[in-house]
Structure 1
Amino acid sequence: MLIDIFHDTVCPWCRIGKKHLFDALAQWQEEEVHIRWHPFLLDNTVPAEGYEFRSFMQNRKGMKAEELQQMFDYTQRAGEAAGVKLDFEKVRLAVNTKLSHQLIALAPTSVKNDVVEAIYKAYFEDGLNLGDINVIVAIGTAYQMDAGELKLQLTNHAVSDAVVAESTFARLNGINSVPFFVINNKVKVNGSHSVEVFLETLNRAALLDIPAKI
């Protein structure tokens, strides 16, 4: 089974949706699953040094400070229910996520899912700037990627351009919010649904692949 996941690494609902999907896969275990991660840059105009997080979010959402806090509290509770930590007190910067998606693209397949989770943790639990190349290299080296080679690859315009192009392609093909999941190129799931919904979707996708009897 092939699962394509469109996400951004500063999207809390993407982290929740990832957890729900992987919990569903742990229960399902019907066939081998291959995951492909796709970038969806929510805002590629953010500079490498980032913006002050709360003022940026207030402007982006058109919310007052109290309303924004209520949204954070709700999202944090949803994260806790899913089993992931979202510490919005630690998050100080709204960041550009292009480098983090480059790291995911460069990571070996065997550790790619773990690298994705490490990036989410770096932002939502440690409050690190994902636009800082040193932060991204440190995450990569924790998974046996060579620091010098990785830094060269991350500064390669071809890798950067590929991330932007893939994100643009997703938007041009009708994806306008994340997380967004496509299973076996047939069944689409938009949003961070429950484990039960993902289980139902996996079963439906598997049935669609069963050849019709003659």
Structure 2
Amino acid sequence: MRIDIFQDLVCPWCRIGKKNLMDALEKFTAEPVELHYRAYQLDPSTPAEGVDFGKLMRTKFRADESKLQAMLQQVTQAGQVSGLHFDFAQITTMPNTLKAHQLIAIVPEEVKQKLVDDLFRAYFEDGKDIGDIDFLLETASQLGMDPQQIRLQLQAKEGLEEVEDDLEFASQAGVTGVPFFVINQKYALTGAQPATTFLQALEQISAEGTDET
């Protein structure tokens, strides 16, 4: 079974949805599963240096500080239900995630999942600027990769075409929000579904595939 995960690294619901999917996969034993991380940008117009997080959020949702904090608390509570910690007080910058997606595209397959988890954690728990090239290189180094080699690859635009293809595919497919999951290139699930919903869908799709053979 193949699962394509369209996500953006500054989307808290993407982090929650991915965690719920992984929890479901721990109980899904019908067949092996391949995960493919696909790039999506909530706001590709974000400048490379990022923008002020609080100001952007208040403008985007037309919210005063009280309403914004209530919204963020709702996300925090949803994260707790899934076993995730969010600390929005640490976040000062809304970064451009293009380089981070590019990094995910070029690292070896066996470290992609750890990299995605590390970037989510760095942003949502520690408030790190995951659009900063030096931080991305540091993160890659902690996963055993040569930061200078990664820097050269990013500068040479390796992985960028793959990222742009993902963004174009999402646009053409009418994906307007994430997380967005495509199973076996045929079935779609949207949003941060509970683990039980994911498991039910996976088992049903697997059974239908068995019936067709």
Report the TM-score, using the length of structure 2 for normalisation.
Answer: 0.95
Q: Which amino acid aligns with 2:166?
A: E
Cα distance in structure 1, aligned partners of 2:27 and 2:211? 24
How far the C-alpha of 1:158 sits from its partner, in A, is: 5.0
Q: Provide runs of 4+ in structure 1 moved above 3 Å.
A: none
Deviation at 1:160, TM superposition (A): 2.9
Question: How do residues 32-181 of structure 1 correspond to structure 2 at under 5 angstroms?
Answer: 32-181=32-181
* In structure 2, C-alpha distance between the alignment counterparts of 1:140 and 1:81, rounded to whole Å: 29
1:13 aligns with 2:9: no
Unmatched segments (≥5 aa) in structure 1: none
Letter in 2 for 1:95: P
Q: CA deviation at 1:74?
A: 0.3
Q: CA offset at residue 48 of structure 1?
A: 2.2
Q: 1:124 and 1:38 mapped to 2: Cα distance?
A: 20
Secondary structure in structure 2 of the residue aligned to 1:125: helix
For residue 153 of structure 1, report the CA deviation from its aligned partner.
1.1
Q: How far does the alpha carbon of each residue in 1:64-87 deviate from its partner, in whole angstroms, 9 at most, with x for none? A: 221111100000000011011111
CA distance in 1, matches of 2:124, 2:6: 18
- 8 A Cα contact 1:5 1:35, kept in partner: yes
CA distance in 1, matches of 2:161, 2:186: 28
CA shift for structure 1 position 205: 1.3
Matched residue pairs, number? 213
Instruction: Flag structure 2 segments of 5+ consecutive residues without an equivalent.
Output: none
1:171 shift after superposition: 1.6
Write out per-residue CA displacement over residues 11-46 of structure 1, whole angstroms, 9 at most, x where no aligned residue: 000000000000000011221110001000111221
Residue pair 1:2, 1:34 contacting (<8 A) in 2 also: yes
> Is contact 2:49–2:132 with CA below 8 Å preserved after alignment?
yes
In structure 1, what residue type is equivalent to 2:134? Answer: N
Q: Does the CA contact (< 8 Å) of 1:186 and 1:205 recur in 2?
A: no
Is the contact made by 2:105 and 2:162 (CA closer than 8 Å) also made in structure 1? no
CA contact (8 A) 1:179 1:191 kept: yes
Identity value in percent: 37
2:179 and 2:168 mapped to 1: Cα distance?
Answer: 15
Asked whether the 8 Å contact 2:102–2:158 carries over to 1, the reply is: no
Q: Which amino acid aligns with 2:183?
A: I
Q: CA separation in 2, counterparts of 1:28 and 1:211? A: 18
Q: Which residue of 1 aligns with 2:183?
A: 183
**Which letter maps to 1:131?**
G
Report Cα offsets for 1:143-174 as digits up to 9, x if no partner. Answer: 11111110011122353344234213212211
Deviations 1:73-132 (A, max 9, x none): 000000011011111001110110011101111111111111100010110111111111
How far is the alpha carbon of 1:61 from its aligned partner?
1.6
The answer as to whether partners of 1:90 and 1:125 remain within 8 angstroms in 2 is: yes
